[in-house]
Amino acid sequence: MSIYDTQHRRESPSARVGMAILRMSQAVKRLSLAEAEGEGLTPVQAQTLLFVRHTKSFLTSIGRLAAALSTTHVTAVGVADGLIRRGLLTKEPSPYDKRVTLLRLTPDGERICQNLDRFGHTLEKALGQVDEADLAALEQQLGALVWSLRAAGALQVAEPCRGCIHFRENAVPESAEPHHCQLIQRFLTEEDSRLDCPDHTPASSSDGVAYSNGHATD
Ligand code: SF4
């Protein structure tokens, strides 16, 4: 049975919700395409710039970009090279491992990102019409769905450090890098701790729900 089958949808609440989510994803795709085009970019180029802007500075490698875009390494190299040619990205070797190249935004790339950060604004506006209690329930349920898709390997979810089981906040108070990640065994600045990391592992499933909905940077 397929969720495209109307008879099946009539009988199955999960098929109806699945179809609603599918339709929403089509709407989001159209909106993001329109916003990226406004900056003269394809959606994947816009996603790449936003990945570099919001990901921890030591994790902006091509390999991580490929995972974030759910694409191959070769395709990610092509996307990054196109943005480098346009003067929106640069590359530099990782200070931790010279074999790894990290992507950085140029000032022009930063400027475009500020405009792209309006991504989702129309969606937020539409959700603003929903009753507050219904919105809270939706947040909880969609958050749980996002994390179960992540657990199934269907989705990469990157989040900042707070709420991650590997995070030790203020391990060395008042130093330039006060926090510590036990996974990568590295000290972190406050700024890096607030940027996204695809290895974020929620301390509890309720953290996962909350963090997937953007509470991590609060
Ligand atoms: S694994 Fe967790 S603590 Fe370590 S950098 Fe990623 S989010 Fe932060």
| 212 pLDDT more than 50 | no
Residue 73: which of 62, 82, 81, 83 has the closest Cα? 62
Q: How many CA atoms lie within 13 A of 72 on its CB side?
A: 3
Ligand 1 centre to CA of 199 (Å) is 6
Among 96, 169, 186, 197, name the best residue to mutate to test ligand 1's pocket (greatest count of ligand atoms within 8 A of Cβ): 197
pLDDT digits (tens, 9 = 90+) for 122-140: 778 888 899 999 999 988 8
Ligand 1 centre to CA of 212 (Å) is 15
Instruction: Give me the CATH code for the 6-115 domain, please.
Output: 1.10.10.10
Mean pLDDT confidence for 166-192: 95
Residue 211: predicted pLDDT: 45
**What tokens were used for 164?**
């991650």
Which residue lies with its CA nearest to atom 3 of ligand 1?
A: 167
pLDDT digits (tens, 9 = 90+) for 32-60: 778 788 889 998 999 999 999 999 999 99
| 12 pLDDT more than 70 | yes
Check residues 159 and 155 and name the one with the higher pLDDT. Answer: 159
What is 116-166 written as a DSSP string?
HTTTTHHHHHHHTTS-HHHHHHHHHHHHHHHHHHHHTTS----B-STTBTT
Contact 44, 79 (CB under 8 A): yes
Question: What is this structure's pTM?
Answer: 0.77
Residue type, 93: P
Ligand 1 centre to CA of 161 (Å) is 5
Mean pLDDT confidence for 140-155: 84
| 110 pLDDT more than 80 | yes
Domain extents for the chain?
A: 6-115
Alpha-carbon gap, residue 141 to 25, rounded angstroms: 16
**What tokens were used for 124?**
């937020």
Biggest CA–CA distance in the chain, Å, is 62
| 117 pLDDT more than 90 | no
> Residue 44: enclosing H or E segment and its boundaries?
helix 43-54
